[in-house]
Each structure stands twice: as C-alpha cells, then as structure tokens.
Amino acid sequence: MMDQSLATIIELQSITKVYGTGSAAMPALRGIDLTIRAGEFVAVMGPSGSGKSTCMNILGCLDTPTSGSYLFEGQNVASLSRDQLALVRRHYLGFIFQGFNLLNRTSALENVELPLIYRGIPVAERHRRARAALASVGLADRERHTPGELSGGQQQRVAIARAIVTDPTVLLADEPTGNLDTARSREVMELLTAFNRDRGLTVIMVTHEPDMAAYAKRQIHFRDGLIDDADDTVIPGRSA
C-alpha cells in the first residue's frame, strides 16, 4: 500500500474546468479530487477527451480551473495571477513533452541551460549545472550536438536534462515516449524511474501506453472528466 506518512505535495479539491459559455459550454473536468504525495510516481491515463490533459495543464500551472482549489505544498495556486503562476512553473516544476520542444539550431548544452537563463543563474554556474544534467542522462559527450545531430531518444534525454536542471519539486511528463520506439521508450522510463527512486523526485506522467504506465507506482484513470476511483490503484510491488 501507499505510504500515508509521505507529505502531501498536490491536492485538487472539487476542480472543474469549463470551456465556453451558455449553450456552447463544454465541461472538461467535472469535480476532480486528487491527492499526490511527495516522492510518488503517478501515471495518468484515459481516452481522448477524458480530461487527463486538461488536468495536467492545471497541475502544471499552464491553465486555471473554473472552480475548486489546487493546493501546491499547501498554497492555493488556483487563484494566483499569470505572473505568479509563471514563478511556480519556473521554480518548482519541470516539463517533458512528447515533441521534445528543443531549439533546433542550439546545442544540447544551450538547450539544457535555458531554464537557468530565465532564473538569472550566472554563466559559469549554468554551464556546470547543464553539464551535470546531461551527464545524468548519459549525454556528457553530446553537449555540443544540435537536435538534428541526435536520435529521437537522445533528444528526449536532452529534454529530460532540461527539465531536471533546475532541481524541480515535481516533474510533469506528457506522453514522454509517444514519439519513440520500444527500446528508446524503455530507456526514458528507466531514467524517470531512477530520478524518482534516487532523488525522491515526484513524477506525474500522462500516457496511453499500459506498458509505460506500469513503471509508475500508481495509476489514475480519467473518464468523462472524472477520476474513476476504482482505477486509482497502487501497482503491486511498487508501493511508495
């Protein structure tokens, strides 16, 4: 079973999200209650239109709920301004996307340094931290390569290095293996598992692939804008 003694890092309370108004209103989330504890590795699953991506956007402070409370380390971020949400993203969250989102004409080292530039980190320290992040994903010898000179799996590892270079509290991964073959997908999942296990990094991952979700400690299934409580399960043998 999940260790109930772990500190709660994220709590969603009656979260709704409605797009449009009046007769055109489209409810994406219909009252979500969700608790995620520090150090968990959670896989979020569900069919297209189930609300899982909308929920992830709210968790990542990329969108705001229509109603309800989103508590991040006890702070209600649902009511923060856009600038305040940007600060939460910059200082507490790391993001990995299916499409890598790397700058094509920029070296791996420079791509990884980008979040540190936004935080005003001096050049020498940026270089040191970016090199350490690349080394942690096995790409110490690729720091001067551009994305076009790297395989898909290597590009995603650069993206992972960029996500963890700021030492975030939570890592949000949106279909991180969606563009990769089976072998490269396993490499990425093993990295995420290692960061969760060895660094205590909280990982929340959206995926439609059951074999990738099996790496997580808990699976949460969305259906029709709601969490299916029966499918909010801890993976046997992988409890937190």
Supply the CATH number for residue 179's domain.
Answer: 3.40.50.300
Residue 101 lies in a domain: yes
β-strand 26-37 against 8-19: which pairing, if any? antiparallel
What does pTM read for this prediction? Answer: 0.90
Distance CA 116, CA 125 (A): 9
Do 92 and 142 touch, CB atoms closer than 8 A?
A: no
Q: What is the residue-wise DSSP string for 99-124?
A: T----TTS-HHHHHHHHHHHTT--HH
Number of domains the chain is built from: 1
Tokens of 174: 């949106």
Q: Quick check: is 2 in a domain?
A: no
Q: Are 158 and 150 in contact (CB under 8 A)?
A: yes
Asked if residue 126 is part of any domain, the answer here is yes
Q: Which residue bears the tokens 């009656």?
A: 14
In the block, tokens 């799996």 appear at 153
- Domain membership flag for residue 3: no
**Strand locations in 144-201 (E):** 170-174
Mean pLDDT of 121-139: 96
Distance CA 64, CA 79 (A): 8
| Residue-wise pLDDT tens digits, 23-70 | 889 999 999 999 999 999 999 999 989 999 999 999 999 999 999 999
**Over the stretch 170-227, which tens digit does the pLDDT of each residue have?**
999 999 998 899 999 999 999 999 999 999 999 999 999 999 999 999 999 999 999 9
Which of the 8 DSSP states describes residue 74? T
Task: Enter the tokens of residue 53.
Answer: 């991506």
Give the model's confidence band at 6: pLDDT under 50 very low, under 70 low, under 90 confident, else very high: confident
Q: Residue 98: pLDDT band by 50, 70, 90 thresholds?
A: confident
What is the radius of gyration, based on Cα positions, of the chain? 18
SS3 225: coil
Establish if 240 belongs to a structural domain.
no
Determine the Cα–Cα distance for residues 159 and 100; give it in Å rounded to an integer: 6
Query: Is residue 25 in some structural domain?
Result: yes
Amino acid, single-letter form, for residue 208: H
Residue 111 lies in a domain: yes
- Which residues are registered as beta bridge partners of 13? 69
Residue 139 maps to a domain: yes
Q: What percent of the chain has pLDDT over 90?
A: 78
Q: Of how many residues is the chain composed? A: 240
The C-alpha angle 102, 104, 107, rounded to 5 degrees, equals 80
Q: Determine the structural domain holding residue 104 and report its residue range.
A: 8-234
| Residue-level pLDDT at 93 | 96
Q: How confident is the model at residue 240 (pLDDT cuts 50, 70, 90)?
A: very low
